[in-house]
Amino acid sequence: MTRPIKLSCRNVWKLYGANADQLLHKSPSPTDAEIRAAGVIGAVRDASIDIADGEIFVIMGLSGSGKSTLVRCLARLIESSRGQVLFEGSDLLQASDREMIEIRRHKMGMVFQHFALLPHLTVLQNIIFPLTVQGVGAQETNTRGREVLELVGLTGREDYYPRELSGGQQQRVGIARSLVTEPDLWFLDEPFSALDPLIRREMQDEFLRLQARLHKTIVFITHDFDEAVRLADRIAVMKDGEIIQVATPQELLLRPATDYVAEFTRHIPRDKVLTVGALVDANLTGSGAAIMADARVADVAERIIAADTAVPVADVDGRIVGAVDRVAVARVLFGTGSAT
């Protein structure tokens, strides 16, 4: 069943420079040459995406690719030069300032790389700050604050101050603060990039645990493909303000749209991304207990390689759809990295 679309953008442009409006009036879709000749900067160029309800949608690219600018256009933290941003079917670019304030207060949550905690407030006071601004009653505010405090694993630290917390704990406070208003749409702009690698991995685990419980619609920015692969349902790869490809992590590896995408994914361990379903041979007969088609190759490679025969593969309904043998797995682990 196809999930409904929660957030879309249609032909969004964000140009910086004195001649930006004049250029777009003259040419609705200016070329690189026209942008350079006008002396403007094309931060986002003709971006169109659909993000489904409950999806983790990752936008990634190198520094300067336009990913943060695009997300700020989606949240209308900055004004797009042209296009539409549709949230639950309504164009945010047509919303009044008052309407946007209400949408951000009640329907959008945001977490950024820098935690921006208020140093003079305790953990709990930081978390409930958005509710305090909204004028929510004290009892409800305290109850909801403690609920999200427990959700992010900070029970017992409610009276600590930010300076008394580790970087990972501070980020948890930022996440809890963004969740306390129970947003429908959650924007995260490189939230873990300032953390040490081990803490970053722990925070990714925590993030996935939260999403399994909350089922939010999430727009997540990162420049780290390992992180994107681990978290994303789908990934949009950006370059020079343009969206180059939108696909699942597996599709990006197997069918990169451009040489740039192929290079971007070249050093990613294929076995950690590819599923057994990508390797299955429908004409091959296996023996023994079946492996699920959505299992990662890395998780089942040892069993397949050790088996005397091919191993059967089953779909989500338990039906056998073929089998996979050690040769197919070896190609992924030791060969070209492709699934064929």
Indicate whether 251 pLDDT > 90: yes
Indicate whether 338 pLDDT > 90: no
C-alpha–C-alpha distance, residues 261 and 254, integer Å: 11
Q: Among 229, 252, 268, where does a domain finish?
A: 268
Query: Residue 82's beta-bridge partner residues?
Result: 13
CATH of the domain at 284: 3.10.580.10
Contact criterion met (CB below 8 Å) for 16 and 40: yes
Indicate whether 106 pLDDT > 70: yes
Q: Among 231, 251, 268, where does a domain finish?
A: 268
> Which band of pLDDT confidence, cut at 50, 70 and 90, is reported for residue 200?
confident
From the list 238, 266, 235, 264, the residue with the least C-alpha distance to 251 is 235
Same domain (yes/no): 15, 89: yes
- Condensed to tens digits (0 to 9), the pLDDT of residues 252-267 reads 998 999 999 998 888 8
Indicate whether 159 pLDDT > 50: yes
Q: In the numeric block, which tokens belong to residue 188? A: 């995260």
Q: In the numeric block, which tokens belong to residue 233? A: 């349902």
State percent of the chain over pLDDT 70.
98
Cβ-count burial of 289 within 10 angstroms (0-12 exposed, 13-18 middle, 19+ buried)?
A: exposed
Q: In the numeric block, which tokens belong to residue 254? A: 């197997």
Average pLDDT over residues 292-300: 93
- Nearest 10 degrees: CA dihedral of 94, 98, 102, 107? 20
Q: In the numeric block, which tokens belong to residue 198? A: 């081990």
C-alpha–C-alpha distance, residues 147 and 130, integer Å: 15
Same domain (yes/no): 197, 100: yes
| Residue 120 maps to a domain | no
Same domain (yes/no): 196, 99: yes
| Residue 225 maps to a domain | yes
| Residue 10 maps to a domain | yes
Looking at residue 336, its pLDDT comes to: 54
| Residue 155 maps to a domain | no
Indicate whether 10 pLDDT > 70: yes
| Residue 204 maps to a domain | yes
Same domain (yes/no): 52, 69: yes
Average pLDDT over residues 300-326: 94
| Residue 122 maps to a domain | no
Same domain (yes/no): 15, 90: yes
Looking at residue 67, its pLDDT comes to: 95
Average pLDDT over residues 125-139: 90
Query: Residue 111's beta-bridge partner residues?
Result: 188
Indicate whether 330 pLDDT > 90: yes
From the CB of residue 245, how many other CB atoms can be counted at a distance below 10 Å? 18
| Residue 39 maps to a domain | yes
Q: Coil, strand, or helix at residue 59?
A: strand
Same domain (yes/no): 190, 323: no
Query: Residue 311's beta-bridge partner residues?
Result: 324
Same domain (yes/no): 293, 245: no
Contact criterion met (CB below 8 Å) for 138 and 119: no
| Residue 160 maps to a domain | no
Same domain (yes/no): 194, 285: no
Q: In the numeric block, which tokens belong to residue 129? A: 């700050």
**Helical segments of the chain, H only:** 20-26, 32-38, 67-74, 97-106, 123-134, 138-151, 167-179, 197-214, 225-231, 249-254, 259-265, 297-306, 326-334
Same domain (yes/no): 211, 324: no
Same domain (yes/no): 217, 325: no
Residue type, 243: I
Average pLDDT over residues 301-309: 93
Indicate whether 337 pLDDT > 50: no
Domain count, the chain: 2
- Condensed to tens digits (0 to 9), the pLDDT of residues 74-97 reads 999 999 999 999 999 999 999 999
From the CB of residue 257, how many other CB atoms can be counted at a distance below 10 Å? 14
Same domain (yes/no): 279, 260: no
Q: The domain containing residue 236 runs over which residues?
A: 5-107+183-268
- Condensed to tens digits (0 to 9), the pLDDT of residues 211-236 reads 998 899 999 999 888 899 889 999 99
Average pLDDT over residues 103-132: 89
State percent of the chain over pLDDT 90.
68
From the list 130, 153, 269, 138, the residue with the least C-alpha distance to 203 is 153
CATH of the domain at 196: 3.40.50.300
Looking at residue 277, its pLDDT comes to: 94
Q: Among 219, 243, 268, where does a domain finish?
A: 268
Same domain (yes/no): 262, 284: no
